[in-house]
Chain A
């Protein structure tokens, strides 16, 4: 299998992200055959499309459809054979297709503050019946919510549950104020896993099959392994990919990580990166003068604007914590629970800082660009202190910019451009200083 020479997903990032929402009719059943004939990015896109298609099919058959937060243990619904869609992924796809502002304003007209997460506003608008042709989803019959990703999620899902009068299965993962996950925390979350399974069995007449659960977990682990392998190629110099490619492919890890076709497609993706290294090609078709970490969720409506000055200055994104954060592996139930306890917004600042610092060291990062995301205050809130620690520990410049993951009203391109240019100037000064101490 060859590397996809036409991938150039950085240049077409916006189009690719938007294409994820297109009505693709390829069934998952065909994905196994496709992997040898189609580029991985095409197969991966089809897998996400199929997740939503299957949910619509289930709805047509009169079966329940769930809406799930991105880091709810997907293994549970998959093992029970329940169709699930993912509002965060839907909101990202809507935003990438420039529908974010329309749906945010719809939600604000319902009375929701523009201070709350734009994913939440988009999802609340959709739950109220607002059209979202960019990525349509069937109305929910039940909700799966885990607050490991953020606590706004809790109220967001409670609102939808009340609006539709449907069951909400909640798993509470408290913030981890220590690096290690204590046994008491594992026991607390484990009991909730069991309760969630029992409730879903009761609600929908399903029978829990431990063998099927083991199979699903094996798939999830294989997916995570392939995903982390693909992410790992960012460490190559030059990198055969851009971190923005990973942002696009994350949709599969969020929505279909328990499916064997996802594992295979991500293995193909990693193989393609390996081949690209051998051939000396990259989806980043620019000089790789600088290697940066992009911290945070991207501004989906503004991918082109984000990439433009990076391309001009040859600054390739070779580290993104958001992507590998979804590549978690485990060996047993305790390990699985510990994995779900570790999300970017649920780990303490020491763990979060080192998580990213290690990535910067491994991937030879020259500077860090931090997205102060108006939608994600927990994530952005501790960035100021992380910035300080990274500067001190890594000796590289860190620059922040204001934006939003889905509401374009919170992003100003010229302000962003100035900050990127500042980062480049700092990286250049840092590089020159290291080499010969010359001034500006």
Chain B
């Protein structure tokens, strides 16, 4: 069951829109917010930067995601946009900042740095208190986390050094097919049949894509195969970690309905997502920051 600050499963989107409206009204009056009124969580990933702003009572009042991760201006942009989203003056300083993601060590203003494992687990549990399995597919890593009923991280499994089954894989394929990443799922929805594409290597998979296209396959069918390929890869990872419902998906790839559906089919169980799924790591970091205030 989703909580109340803009969280939804696939069947609860109206709740999200309502929560957004409530938050919008609130933030219109928040220009005078004091610096000590909020904390910030920052997730600097390999491809994107995410930021979540929490009020001291734990309410989510601002969020942002921007393209550009480690080594870019993305983190600063995400912070600025999240403050703007929260209706907080851009020069207001948060009470505490916690950073996660591959670029966490570059966040010089962070008061604490935490691995994305515990941050995604915390963020997912905040979004879905009944979550027991968290699947996070980010730009560079895919990981499956098992969390206990008490909210402890029990175990995890992560991809090996290969980029297969990660967001980078999707980006490469989108480039090969010359379509925006955000339009992949919609295009794949018209697929008539799923092609068989390797799940072992991005480079091999891209070669296979070219071969399929050369034989006249449609881009939709190729994409269907790609989503199945990712699902097979991540599904094997999930089997290693052990799957227990409720299964929640976080990370940027969670927003891709094609991968989500393919993974649900692969696991044979429902997968819950939230519009904040991509922000789960930043949310977890913000919760860490809040816990330290």
Q: In the assembled complex, which residues on chain B have CB atoms less than 8 Å from the CB atom of A391?
A: 155
> C-beta contact mask, B74-97 vs A, less than 8 Å → 1, else 0?
000000000000000000000000
The answer to whether A402 touches B155 (Cβ under 8 A) is no
Distance in angstroms from A114 CB to nearest chain B CB is 13
Docked complex Cα distance between A321 and B156 (Å) = 24
Q: In the assembled complex, which residues on chain B have CB atoms less than 8 Å from the CB atom of A311?
A: none
Q: Which listed residue (A384, A426, A429, A437) contacts B240, Cβ 8 A?
A: A384
The answer to whether A429 touches B160 (Cβ under 8 A) is no
Given contacts A418-B116, A418-B141, A440-B121, whether A429 and B102 have CB atoms under 8 Å apart is no
Residues 327-382 (chain A) with a chain B CB within 8 angstroms:
372
Q: In the assembled complex, which residues on chain A have CB atoms less than 8 Å from the CB atom of B152?
A: 429, 432-433, 439-440
A260 within 8 A of B: no
Given contacts A418-B117, A422-B117, A437-B150, whether A397 and B155 have CB atoms under 8 Å apart is yes
> C-beta contact mask, B109-127 vs A, less than 8 Å → 1, else 0?
0000011111001100000
Total number of A residues with any Cβ neighbor in B under 8 Å? 24
Given contacts A399-B156, A418-B141, A440-B122, whether A425 and B117 have CB atoms under 8 Å apart is yes
Segment of A6-14, A50-58, A277-285, A409-417 in the binding face: A409-417
Total number of B residues with any Cβ neighbor in A under 8 Å? 22
Distance in angstroms from A411 CB to nearest chain B CB is 8
The answer to whether A439 touches B102 (Cβ under 8 A) is no
The answer to whether A429 touches B161 (Cβ under 8 A) is no
Distance in angstroms from A120 CB to nearest chain B CB is 20
B153 within 8 A of A: yes
The answer to whether A418 touches B160 (Cβ under 8 A) is no
Distance in angstroms from A250 CB to nearest chain B CB is 26
The answer to whether A440 touches B151 (Cβ under 8 A) is yes
Q: In the assembled complex, which residues on chain A have CB atoms less than 8 Å from the CB atom of B140?
A: 415
> C-beta contact mask, A157-182 vs B, less than 8 Å → 1, else 0?
00000000000000000000000000
The answer to whether B158 touches A419 (Cβ under 8 A) is yes
Of A391, A402, A432, A440, most buried by chain B (CB within 10 Å of CB) is: A440
Docked complex Cα distance between A412 and B166 (Å) = 16
The answer to whether A422 touches B150 (Cβ under 8 A) is no
The answer to whether A440 touches B153 (Cβ under 8 A) is yes
Docked complex Cα distance between A103 and B80 (Å) = 49
Q: In the assembled complex, which residues on chain B have CB atoms less than 8 Å from the CB atom of A410?
A: 161
The answer to whether B117 touches A402 (Cβ under 8 A) is no
The answer to whether A372 touches B102 (Cβ under 8 A) is no
Q: Which listed residue (B117, B122, B155, B160) contacts A421, Cβ 8 A?
A: B117
Given contacts A412-B161, A414-B102, whether A425 and B153 have CB atoms under 8 Å apart is yes
Q: In the assembled complex, which residues on chain A have CB atoms less than 8 Å from the CB atom of B150?
A: 433, 437-439
11 A-B pairs, CB-CB below 8 angstroms?
Answer: A415-B158, A415-B161, A418-B117, A418-B141, A422-B153, A422-B156, A425-B117, A426-B153, A429-B154, A439-B152, A440-B151
Interface positions of B (Cβ within 8 A of A): 102, 114-118, 121-122, 140-141, 148, 150-156, 158, 160-161, 240
Listed from nearest, the 3 A-B pairs whose CB atoms lie closest are A439-B151, A421-B115, A422-B117
